Amino acid sequence: MSSPSPQPSVESVPEILSLEKAERMAEFFGGLGDPNRWRILSALALGERRVGELAAVVAMSESAVSHQLRTLRSLRLVSRQKQGRTVVYRLTDHHIFDLYHAASEHLDEPHPLD
């Protein structure tokens, strides 16, 4: 059994969130409340993909994947790039990759009931 992580001291917390930033974070994390978005993020964590490729690996229609990608782009989680006549999607930056992996690892760790 692993021991609980130590809590940060009050001195190590840089500041209490402003209301504006807390609202932005709530909107950001609220946008991640759809399991299909997490599945798309997990596919993109493995590398860039076209809509058709994403649709195949997450077993959704291309239009449903496109809809989810619009939401993920509005949250700045996913970016797109034209490559000739093709558009590929990828995670926006390492922060998104790190967020995905941190959430996945957290859920895989055994947690004792409180």
Task: Walk me through the domains of the chain, giving residue ranges and CATH numbers.
Answer: 19-108 (1.10.10.10)
**Residue 1's pLDDT band (boundaries 50, 70, 90)?**
very low
Spatial separation of the C-alpha atoms in residues 51 and 37, rounded to whole Å: 13
In this predicted structure, the answer to whether residue 2 has a pLDDT above a threshold of 80 is no
Predicted TM-score of the model (pTM)? 0.76
Assigned token pair, 56: 């195949």
Residue 15: the pLDDT is: 85
